[in-house]
């Protein structure tokens, strides 16, 4: 193959070279496409590419780059520098390839999908791949049901999982638009091209083509240009104009007509028509900026007349009509002869625009617009009304989206700064000034200490471009400034008193102040959460010198709401700071009185520490009421020493004494759940560890955590249980919830004591050991809640019965901890009868006090064991208590360790004693009935 090609080339280089014709060259190129393509890629220039694009119905590259929108949302291009140029001819196949242009080097390629290899795209691809692998179990494909492919509302957040969390990035996610508006093609046809297209297609097909063209355009400016061009071609005239109705509903002085595309042939007064900066080019035509809009007051000129009346105006000689002014014609060197003007209506028959065409082709109908022209004009304008309505809906939705975005940013500013009212208000005023484009913003706060309406603070913010550069003002400026301030204050008083919204234009301002420099003002009240007026916000003078409209009022109303929230939150923050300061002072006072005094510590330090066996502390039958307060403190020190905790963990003697005295002080004077109960629980745990040889089952850290947990397990007990806290909706429920309410409070109270200076008996522990002992401490205290016991006991019973337990396993060892804590807490039911009977009476007294609170404060019927009227049922209740709750646990513990059977035997003996009381009560009751 290669040899044949070389032979062909050699033939071309021969003597017959001069005889080669264009047809021969074309034939050779057709037969050698590879060579043709290679030569094209090496030699072609951008100008030739543009000619090829234009000849085939595409935009040239420069025109497209200047008008194309971002292609990243279309799905064809990565978020890079690529631009997609698509053919816009109606005959273009929807599957035709796109011509893709790289914005950096103008290189081209023809492809269905283009993906840039820029760093930005690679990062984007990596992030998407990462979210797919982490957040999905499978890829979403055609075989996956639609319902399973739906993502959560947080799907966009997954794209930013690699970004550091910050308020700004989170705000960006909130304000990211979730609505993808349809994209419209940029028309490649000018007026001359459309005339040729009409000639080629015929009037009917051309009409359908231009209707489809405007139906897909949702940009008012682009749509206006298309409509003007289409009208010019359809009606075969020289020029056309389209003016949209702008402003509030009819009857308002603020209504006007606005043209998105400047046109000199509208037949209205030049002073209203020509925007700032309009000049004539060399050909005498107008040149305007892309952002200029032409505005015509309502009812002025032929356009204003048609907009206000809805009539159609058809003039053969425009200059003869008194409503027509030829000032623009004289300025621009143009002459208007015939003119046709007609309103554009929406589906509600409301006038939303006015269209006008000028100067009919003189070769047709003597240059006059006929009734057929009017009918065609009216028919096309019906479609124009639909297209304008759709475009205005899209424009309104964009404006609403922008407003919501700006308000979200205000919210971000509002909650970012809450420490100072001055900073909050100034931030909101700065953003309001930028968004509403006004010269000045002011906020006046009402002085609540005065009976009459007066203001305690004034915040005034001027636009930087309107600030006076020199600090020294002349006398006239000073007087004018004072007059403006007094005028603003008088308006603010009016708003604060009435609660009305003031929107004042230039004429109304001049009535209140002369030469004030105020041409528009908008003032609104600022309200707090109770709808009380706490201030007045004002904005002054729009930068474009127009009055504030309804959109400005709505946006500014939102700003005043946020201003009120900002003031309220800042005041609340100030109150919280004061409350925290008061709390800190209260804690310091309580800490001083609830902590062991130096005098008391010195007194206890001088007392001898008794031996544990001398106090019968190793026995499970220890008499709970045999020691007084000081003896219990020294007995607790003795148990710390016997357990080896002081030596193992280097607990300082004074720290231990101070800790024990403080724990004792932080138990309330309630009948049962007091310091004595805490000491008795700790003694039972000590007896289980030392007297029943259970200490080696646990590590030293676990023994420390369990023993301290026994001492602290009912700290600050109020004499009421968790059920009462929930019924009363106490502060503890609000703080800890309804699960283990009191137990969480006991643990946190213990943590507070251990965190205090000179009370931390864990101070010598490493970070890891401290974490372990605190975990055991929390587990031990929470385990004293009977609800936790009922959740765990069946599992424990099964382990004991099956004898498959292994205390080397952490989960089973923690289960044993919980059971031992419960057995120690309920051990009063296993003690000698006189101890059990006295403890039961104390528990009953505490329950009855709770029952009285439920009956008289909460207005509910208390349970039987808490009902003062059913105290005689105590023996039966105690029997059920021991049989259902206590005895099964002690039987299981006895199976595990026979030395613990003492507790089971004590519980059975107490049941027998309570049964005797039941029998005696029954006999006494029968004796009374017989008598």
Nearest to 495 by CA among 559, 446, 540, 462: 446
Contacts of 678 (CB under 8 A, 6+ apart): 663, 667, 710, 711, 712, 713, 714, 715
Q: How many CA atoms lie within 13 A of 400 on its CB side?
A: 7
At residue 351, what are phi and psi to the nearest 5 degrees?
-75, 120
Nearest to 782 by CA among 812, 739, 740: 740
- Alpha helices, H only, 32-118: 33-43, 46-55, 61-67
Q: Is the distance from CB of 295 to CB of 258 less than 8 angstroms?
A: yes
Q: How many CA atoms lie within 13 A of 556 on its CB side?
A: 29
Q: Is the distance from CB of 524 to CB of 501 less than 8 angstroms?
A: yes
Count of Cβ atoms closer than 10 Å to residue 535 Cβ: 26
Residues of the binding site for AMP: 673-677, 714, 825, 878
Contacts of 930 (CB under 8 A, 6+ apart): none
Q: Is the distance from CB of 888 to CB of 789 less than 8 angstroms?
A: no
Q: What is the spatial distance between Cα 431 and Cα 426, in angstroms, rounded to a whole number?
A: 9
In the beta sheet, which residues pair with residue 256? 246, 297
Q: What is the spatial distance between Cα 871 and Cα 878, in angstroms, rounded to a whole number?
A: 11
- Cα distances from 876 to residues 27, 872, 879, 915, in angstroms, run 117, 9, 5, 8
In the beta sheet, which residues pair with residue 90? none
Q: What is the spatial distance between Cα 192 and Cα 325, in angstroms, rounded to a whole number?
A: 29
DSSP class of 147 = G
Residues of the binding site: 673-677, 713-714, 825, 878
Residues of the binding site for Zn(2+): 677, 713-714, 825
Chain-centre distance for alpha carbon 769: 40
Query: CA 130, 133, 136, 138 torsion: positive or negative?
Result: positive
Contacts of 424 (CB under 8 A, 6+ apart): 414, 417, 418, 563, 566, 567, 569, 570
- Site of tokens 């676990």: 702
Question: Among the options 189, 673, 746, 779, which is catalytic?
Answer: 673
Chain-centre distance for alpha carbon 518: 39
In the beta sheet, which residues pair with residue 502? 523
Q: What is the spatial distance between Cα 742 and Cα 724, in angstroms, rounded to a whole number?
A: 10
DSSP codes, 593-644? HHSPPHHHHHHHHTSPPPPTGGGTTT-TT--TTS--HHHHHHHHHHHHHHTT
Active-site annotation holds for 749: no
Q: Exposure string (b/e) for 195-205, b if CB count within 10 Å is 16 or more?
A: bebbeeeeeee
Q: What is the spatial distance between Cα 98 and Cα 91, in angstroms, rounded to a whole number?
A: 15
Contacts of 348 (CB under 8 A, 6+ apart): none
DSSP codes, 529-552? TTS-EEEEEEEEEETTSPPP-HHH
Active site residues: 673
């Amino acid at each position: 193959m290669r040899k044949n090609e070389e032979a062909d080339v050699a033939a071309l280089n021969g003597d017959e070279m001069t005889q080669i014709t264009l047809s021969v060259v074309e034939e050779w190129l057709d037969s050698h496409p590879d060579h043709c393509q290679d030569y094209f890629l090496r030699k072609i220039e951008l100008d030739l590419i543009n000619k090829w694009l234009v000849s085939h119905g595409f935009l040239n590259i420069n025109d497209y780059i200047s008008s194309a929108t971002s292609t990243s949302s279309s799905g064809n291009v990565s978020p890079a520098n690529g631009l997609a140029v698509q053919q816009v001819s109606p005959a273009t196949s929807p599957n035709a390839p796109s011509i893709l242009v790289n914005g950096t080097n103008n290189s081209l390629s023809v492809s269905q999908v283009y993906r840039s290899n820029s760093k930005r795209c690679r990062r984007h691809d990596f992030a998407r791949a990462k979210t797919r692998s982490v957040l999905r179990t499978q890829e979403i494909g055609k075989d996956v049901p639609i319902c399973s492919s739906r993502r959560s509302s947080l799907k966009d957040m997954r794209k930013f999982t690699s970004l550091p969390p910050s308020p700004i990035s989170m705000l960006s996610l909130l304000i990211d638009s979730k609505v993808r508006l349809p994209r419209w093609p940029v028309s490649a046809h000018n007026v001359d091209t459309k005339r040729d297209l009409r000639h080629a297609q015929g009037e009917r097909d051309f009409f359908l083509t231009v209707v489809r063209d405007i139906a897909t355009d949702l940009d008012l400016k682009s749509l206006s240009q298309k409509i003007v061009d289409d009208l010019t071609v359809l009606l075969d005239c020289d020029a056309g104009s389209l003016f949209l109705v702008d402003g509030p509903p009819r009857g308002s002085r603020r209504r006007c007509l606005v043209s998105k595309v400047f046109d000199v042939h509208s037949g209205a007064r030049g002073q209203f028509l020509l925007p700032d900066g309009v000049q004539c080019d060399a050909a005498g035509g107008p040149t305007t900026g892309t952002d200029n809009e032409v505005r015509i007051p309502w009812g002025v000129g032929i356009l204003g007349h048609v907009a206000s009346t809805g009539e159609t105006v058809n003039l053969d000689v425009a200059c003869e009509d008194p409503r027509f002014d030829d000032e623009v014609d004289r300025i621009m060197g143009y002459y208007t002869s015939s003119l046709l003007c007609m309103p554009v209506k929406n589906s509600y028959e409301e006038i939303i625009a006015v269209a006008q065409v000028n100067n009919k082709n003189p070769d047709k109908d003597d240059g006059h617009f006929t009734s057929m022209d009017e009918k065609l004009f009216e028919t096309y304008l019906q479609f124009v009304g639909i297209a304008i309505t759709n475009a205005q809906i899209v424009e309104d939705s964009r404006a609403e989206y922008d407003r919501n975005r700006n308000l979200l940013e205000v919210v971000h500013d509002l909650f970012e700064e809450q420490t100072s009212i001055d900073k909050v208000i100034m931030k909101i005023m700065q953003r309001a000034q930028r968004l509403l484009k006004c010269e000045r913003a002011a906020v006046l706060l009402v002085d609540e200490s005065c009976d009459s309406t007066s203001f305690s603070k004034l915040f005034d913010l001027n636009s930087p471009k309107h600030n006076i550069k020199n600090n020294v003002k002349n006398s006239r400026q000073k007087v004018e400034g004072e007059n403006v301030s007094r005028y603003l204050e008088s308006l603010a008083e009016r708003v604060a008193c009435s609660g009305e919204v003031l929107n004042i234009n230039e004429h109304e301002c001049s009535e209140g102040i002369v030469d004030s420099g105020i041409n528009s003002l908008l003032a609104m009240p600022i309200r707090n959460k109770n709808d009380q007026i706490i201030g007045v916000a004002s904005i002054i003078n729009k930068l474009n010198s127009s009055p504030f409209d309804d959109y400005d009022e709505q946006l500014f109303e939102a700003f005043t709401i946020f201003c009120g929230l900002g003031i309220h939150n800042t005041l609340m923050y100030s109150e919280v700071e004061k409350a925290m300061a008061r709390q800190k002072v209260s804690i310091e006072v309580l800490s001083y009185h609830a902590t062991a005094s130096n005098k008391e510590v010195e007194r206890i330090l001088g007392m001898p520490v008794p031996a544990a066996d001398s106090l019968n502390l190793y026995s499970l039958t220890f008499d709970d009421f045999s020691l007084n307060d000081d003896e219990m403190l020294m007995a607790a020190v003795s148990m710390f020493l016997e357990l080896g905790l002081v030596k193992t963990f280097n607990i300082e003697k004074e720290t231990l004494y101070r800790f024990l005295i403080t724990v004792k002080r932080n138990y309330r004077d309630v009948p049962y759940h007091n310091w004595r109960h805490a000491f008795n629980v700790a003694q039972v745990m000590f007896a289980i560890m030392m007297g029943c040889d259970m200490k080696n089952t646990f590590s030293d850290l676990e023994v420390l955590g369990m023993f301290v947990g026994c001492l602290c397990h009912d700290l600050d007990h109020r004499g009421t249980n968790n059920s009462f806290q929930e019924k009363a909706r106490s502060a503890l429920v609000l703080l800890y919830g309804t699960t283990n309410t009191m137990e969480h409070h006991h643990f946190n109270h213990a943590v507070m004591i251990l965190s205090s200076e000179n009370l931390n008996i864990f101070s010598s522990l490493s970070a890891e050991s401290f974490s372990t002992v605190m975990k055991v401490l929390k587990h031990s205290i929470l385990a004293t809640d009977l609800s936790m016991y009922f959740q765990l006991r069946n599992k424990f019973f099964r382990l004991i019965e099956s004898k498959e337990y292994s205390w080397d396993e952490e989960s089973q060892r923690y289960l044993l901890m919980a059971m031992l804590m419960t057995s120690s807490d309920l051990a009063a039911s296993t003690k000698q009868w006189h101890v059990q009977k006295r403890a039961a009476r104390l528990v009953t007294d505490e329950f009855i006090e709770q029952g009285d609170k439920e009956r008289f404060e909460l207005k509910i019927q208390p349970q039987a064991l808490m009902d003062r009227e059913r105290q005689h049922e105590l023996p039966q209740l105690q029997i059920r208590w021991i049989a259902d709750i206590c005895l099964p646990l002690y039987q299981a513990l006895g199976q595990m360790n026979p030395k613990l059977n003492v507790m089971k035997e004590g519980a059975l003996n107490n049941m027998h004693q309570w049964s005797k009381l039941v029998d005696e009560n029954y006999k006494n009751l029968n004796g009374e009935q017989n008598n």
